[in-house]
Amino acid sequence: MKNSFYNTTEVIGLIGNPTKQSYSPFIYNVAIEITKLDYIYLPFNVQASNLQNALKGMVALGIKGFNVTIPHKVKVLDHISNLSEEASITGAVNTIVNEHGKLTGYNTDVHGILESLMPFKEEITGSEMTLIGAGGSARAVIYVLIRYFKPKRINLVNRTEQRAESLKVYFQDKMKYDSFKTKELFPPDLVEIFSKSKLIINATPIGMFPEVDDNVTTIPESFTKDQIVFDLVYNPADTKFLQLAQSRGAITIDGIKMLVHQAAKSFNLWTGVEMPVDDLYKSLQLFISK
């Protein structure tokens, strides 16, 4: 923030409820500091009943952009007519850009997931993959897998199998992809499904602070050497899930990478400037471990 009188400062921020737990104010304000942009990022706690008013306020006040978090990521689509392809297909918006009163919705989680998986493109393309979870972020994962990595099959594993079924039907329709197999989270044959998958992704909060000892599976044979295992949980970065996978020789990807890259995409959409992702990754690692 270079203008000490705030006369030209652009406002960006976060709408959600709650917003207290979010790392976004830290990420973006550090990025603003490093890039010396005249911006400020603020969290706004918005009740579901006030969502439309908040968007009107955004336009009226000239707020440049919002991140959108729980519980508004899906509902916000009712109020925005312009959507990116990712937002439209996943049915979820995590970033809004205000261009002179015209609001456009994006899903930059897709970008964070893609950046996390791209280094392993050769190994995973065309392979069998397993995704645990059927919530909002699972939608972004499925979009990326189908769009960029041509999966032989996607095993959709979820605590509530019915929700995995609904997601399967949704993506069969939206992306014309048929090779899904759905499973409930805890049956014994999961070990076989896991171990046959080249890529395993956790898109549930299992193992997240403060329940850091929880794990999707405690069976070492679930993992194999050279498998790629990705956990969306970023607090802690080194989850029990990734620890177990590492102990079997798997290659692991933590959730901080996704967190930084989805933020970098939003930052670029609002400011036109690249976020210094390596600096942010290091700052976040330190911030989260404290």
Residues that bind ligand NAP (CB under 6 A): 109, 112, 133-138, 158-160, 163, 185, 203-206, 208, 232-234, 255, 258-259, 262
Residue with tokens 């995409």: 265
Q: In whole angstroms, how close is the CB of 158 to ligand NAP at the nearest point?
A: 5
Is 75 strand, coil or helix? Answer: helix
Is 119 strand, coil or helix? Answer: helix
Q: List CB contacts of 186: < 8 A, sequence separation 6 or more.
A: none
Distance of CA 250 to the CA centre of its chain: 22
Q: In whole angstroms, how close is the CB of 257 to ligand NAP at the nearest point?
A: 8
73 tagged catalytic: yes
Q: Which is nearer to ligand NAP, 93 or 232 (by Cβ)?
A: 232
**Burial classification of residue 141, based on how many CB atoms lie within 10 Å of its CB (0-12 exposed, 13-18 middle, 19 or more buried):** buried
* Dist. CA 122–CA 119, nearest whole Å: 8
Which residue number is nearest to ligand NAP in terms of Cβ? 135
* Dist. CA 28–CA 264, nearest whole Å: 9
Q: Which is nearer to ligand NAP, 160 or 247 (by Cβ)?
A: 160
Q: Which is nearer to ligand NAP, 1 or 75 (by Cβ)?
A: 75
Q: In whole angstroms, how close is the CB of 212 to ligand NAP at the nearest point?
A: 12
Q: Which is nearer to ligand NAP, 16 or 133 (by Cβ)?
A: 133
Q: In whole angstroms, how close is the CB of 265 to ligand NAP at the nearest point?
A: 11
Type of residue found at 212: V
* Dist. CA 99–CA 64, nearest whole Å: 7
Six token digits for residue 13: 């921020």
Six token digits for residue 248: 């079997």
Of 2, 73, 181, 183, which is the active-site residue?
73
What number of residues does the chain have? Answer: 290
DSSP class of residue 48?
Answer: G
Helix or strand run (H / E) with residue 138: helix 136-149
Q: Which is nearer to ligand NAP, 4 or 252 (by Cβ)?
A: 252
Q: In whole angstroms, how close is the CB of 47 to ligand NAP at the nearest point?
A: 18
Catalytic residue annotation: 73
